[in-house]
């Protein structure tokens, strides 16, 4: 499903004539559950991975996620 979501975002960007390569996308939320710092089972990483395949710069903002833990896990 993550790959599908990323592909749909790319399709919308193309339709709106937004340059895909080098563009910046902000993802709000990374944790597995709402109001919980657990990132072990997050599927957001699938979206991030797919967007990077299109050479999109991805920025993630989630106040619940510990950045060091996210880098260790992924």
Residue position matching structure tokens 């599927």: 43
Residue 8 confidence class, pLDDT cut points 50, 70, 90: very high
Q: Where are the alpha helices (DSSP H) in the chain?
A: 2-15, 44-53, 67-73
pLDDT at 47: 97
- The candidate with the shortest Cα–Cα distance to 63, out of 35, 44, 42, 40, is 35
Predicted TM-score (pTM) of the model is: 0.87
Q: How far apart are CA 12 and CA 14, in angstroms?
A: 5
CA atoms of 58 and 60, how far apart (whole Å):
7
Q: Which domain holds residue 23?
A: 2-73
Euclidean distance between CA atoms 48 and 53, whole angstroms: 9
Domain count of the fold of the chain: 1
**For residue 63, what is the domain's CATH number?**
3.40.50.720
């Amino acid at each position: 499903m993550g790959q599908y979501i990323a592909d749909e975002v790319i399709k919308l960007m193309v339709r709106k004539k937004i340059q895909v390569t080098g563009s910046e996308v902000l993802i709000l939320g990374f944790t597995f559950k709402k109001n919980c710092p657990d990132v072990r089972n997050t599927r957001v990483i699938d979206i991030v991975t797919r967007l990077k395949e299109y050479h999109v710069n991805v920025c993630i903002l989630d106040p619940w996620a510990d950045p060091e833990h996210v880098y260790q896990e992924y």
